[in-house]
Amino acid sequence: MGEFRSRIAFSLLIAALVAVATISMVVDRRSRLTGGNLLPGWTRIVLDAAVPLQKMVALPFDVARDTWTRYVALVDVADQNQALRSQLAELREDNLQLREALVASGRLERIAEMRDDFDVPMRPAELVGVDVSPWFRSVLLDRGQTDGVLSGMPVISEDGLVGLVTATSGRAAKSMTVLDRQSAVDATVQRSRSRGIVRGRGSDGIVFEFVARGADVAVGDLVITSGLGGVYPKGLRIGRVTAVSDPGAKLVQEASLEPAVDFGRLEQVFVILRRGPTMELLYRAEDGDAAPARPGT
Amino acid sequence: MKRVLGLLGLGAVALTLQGAVAAFLPARFCPDLSFLLVVALGLCWRSAVGGVCVSGAIGFVTDLLSGSLLGQHALLRLAAHALARLGNRHLSLRGMLPQAIFVAVLTCANAFAMALITSFFSPGSAVAGIAVRELLPQALANALLAPLVIALTARTVARLGDEDGGQRVLPLSPRGRIA
């Protein structure tokens, strides 16, 4: 009788855990679609605790890498290189914005407007950990709500678009990168203005999909955010076309892209402290802001 | 309770280590330590209730540190733990090779289940297309590390007070035959 009871109790425990997991998934999915703040408070504590832990565990790796880069490989050159890269990235960004404005309208006034528009506050953040699941591509950042980082804010690096903040706690944020299979970004080819969707493919990089058959896409073309989805600002570099597939009988074609950002070496990013219009609408009623954002644009 | 807390701590260590190592290794070659731990618990911890609770908790924390839906890993970790427990009853998983093969098969099943759930909740996502070339290295990495994780977990369970840690569970039925 006792064994029977304990079996029943065990079955009930399993059923309860499965039910909790399933309900959590449904609620989480709903919060992603509506932008509601439905994540329980304890999740923020876990996220906050993860940052110092990840930093601590990664410390030996970081020290080894820094030692090699700064002292063994090239003394001082690394610092100079870093400064020059930052400068180059700023100039590239300026150049890109100017070209965008010129292509879009041809009016110089637009350039000034665009510069103003792009001149939004950014918060530098350090990448302290990557996704613990091999099937997803999120990263953990060491900035959270106390630094003004909220769900739905775009994340960039000096090379281009990194992703989108999907959940925040007081001192940490989780960001889904463009490599994630759930990510979709409305994009355009800078040269020809052909539009499509950039989707993540995990380890296989990113793909430019749903490009109209016959659209002008060539190897080497730069693909940038179109800004039409209302999630990301216009003109952020996403990647460069490495191959264009033959559409065959299909109405759309797709192209493989090499991401502009080297995610394997990503250490520091910038969170744009302004949400796009779509994200603003999605999260407008939200106070605590801990719910993930809708992945697509 | 001491064992549960100790193994939860081990889970936290596994997740933290995995997050740090994943930053330096390509994702497809990075072993899924929390998954291995959950399977190892199914193989060498007698307490079914404790195993299920710890597996569920590890799954939920994995969800928090991952881009998955909250509860997705929790559900799959529970399933992996249950399958490991079942496998331990009906299969001979004593040696390193059987353990490695068992874990490789479980990894593939876990990936397909992950793709299925994600596709169900996010129909537009490309998770369903988890490529074989991505899955195989992952299964191989898990298989290679599995005997070590299982041995370490068995030792930890034994050290935390389970006398049968590391021993195969062979419950005897009242009629005297092996259940």
**Nearest to A174, CA basis, from B114, B68, B77:** B68
Q: Is the pLDDT of residue A291 over 50?
A: no
pLDDT tens sequence across A48-64: 777 777 777 777 777 77
Model ipTM value: 0.74
Give A63-114 pLDDT, tens digit per residue: 777 777 666 666 677 778 878 887 888 888 778 777 777 666 655 555 455 4
Of B34, B48, B122, the CB nearest to A132: B34
Q: Which distant-in-sequence residues (6+ apart) come within 8 Å of A213 by Cβ?
A: A247, A250, A251, A252, A253
Distance of CA A101 to the CA centre of its chain: 24
Task: Give the lowest-confidence range in A40-49, A121-130, A163-172, B41-50.
Answer: A40-49
Residue B67 lies in a domain: yes
Query: What is the distance, to the nearest Å, from the Cα of residue B18 to the centroid of all Cα atoms in its chain?
Result: 13
B12 in contact with A, Cβ within 8 Å: yes
CB-based contact A182 B69, cutoff 8 Å: no
Q: What is the CATH number of the domain that holds B51?
A: 1.10.1760
Domain residue limits at B45: 2-159
Q: Which residue of A has its CA nearest to B49?
A: A10
Touching A: B residues 126-155, CB under 8 Å: 126-127, 129-131, 134, 138
Taking CA–CA distances from B33, the nearest residue in chain A reads A132
In a domain, B174, yes or no: no
- Cβ-defined contact of B64 to A46 (cutoff 8 Å): yes
B98 to chain A, minimum CA–CA distance in Å?
Answer: 24
**DSSP single-letter state for residue B69:** P
Q: How far apart are CA A30 and CA A33, in angstroms?
A: 5
Domain count, chain B: 1
Q: Is the pTM of this model over 0.90?
A: no
Residues of A in contact with B126 (CB under 8 A): 181-182, 199-201
Question: Would strands A252-259 and A237-244 be described as parallel, antiparallel, or unpaired?
Answer: antiparallel
Residue A142: strand, helix, or coil = coil
Which pLDDT does position B78 carry in this prediction? 92
pLDDT given for residue B76 in this prediction:
93
Helix or strand run (H / E) with residue A270: strand A268-272
Q: Does B34 touch chain A (CB under 8 A)?
A: yes
State which residue of chain B sits closest to A134, comparing Cα positions: B27
Average pLDDT over residues A127-138: 82
Query: B28 lies in a domain?
Result: yes
Does B41 fall in a domain? yes
Cβ–Cβ gap B22/A131 under 8 Å: yes
Pairing status of strand A160-168 against strand A173-177: antiparallel
> What is the per-residue pLDDT across A203-230, written as a single tens digit (0 to 9) for each?
778 899 888 888 888 899 999 998 887 8
Confidence of residue B176 (pLDDT cuts 50, 70, 90): very low
Q: B19 and A132 in contact by Cβ < 8 A?
A: yes
3-state secondary structure of B172: strand
Q: Is residue B178 part of a domain?
A: no
CB proximity list for B42: less than 8 A, separation 6 or greater:
B51, B55, B80, B81, B82, B83, B84, B85, B87, B88
- Contacts with A63 from chain B: Cβ below 8 Å: none
What's the CA gap between A38 and A118, in Å, rounded?
A: 32
Pairing label, strands A252-259, A206-212: antiparallel
User: Which residues, at least 6 apart from B141, have a Cβ–Cβ distance to it below 8 Å?
Assistant: B28, B29, B30, B31
Of B75, B126, B131, which is closest to A22 when you measure between CB atoms?
A: B75
**Strand, helix or coil at B101?**
helix
Q: Which residues of A touch B65 (CB under 8 A)?
A: 46-47, 50, 129, 131-132, 140, 174
Point out the residue among A10, A39, A203 whose CB comes nearest to the CB of B70. A39
Q: What is the rounded CA–CA span in Å between residue B133 and residue A223?
A: 27
Choose, out of B65, B121, B140, the residue to mutate when testing the contact with A (most A CBs < 10 Å).
Answer: B65
- Which positions ≥6 away from A5 have C-beta within 8 Å? none
The residues facing A122 across adjacent strands are A272
Tally C-beta pairs within 8 A across A and B: 165
* Residues B84-89: contacts with CB under 8 Å, at least 24 apart: B84/B38, B84/B39, B84/B40, B84/B41, B84/B42, B84/B43, B85/B42, B85/B43, B85/B48, B85/B51, B87/B42, B87/B43, B88/B42, B88/B43, B88/B168, B88/B169, B89/B169, B89/B179
| Residue B100 falls inside a structural domain | yes
Lookup: tokens for A179:
């490599």
Residue B171 lies in a domain: no
Amino acid present at B64: L
Please state, in angstroms and rounded to a whole number, the distance separating the CA atoms of residues B137 and B176: 44
| Residue in the structure block whose two tokens are 């179109």 | A226
Asked if residue B170 is part of any domain, the answer here is: no
Token look-up 């995610």 returns A263
Whether B48 sits inside 8 A of A10 (CB atoms) is: yes
Does the pLDDT of residue B172 top 50, yes or no?
Answer: no
The residue of chain B with its CA nearest to that of A32 is: B69
- Helix B2-22 to helix B48-64 angle (10° resolution) is 30
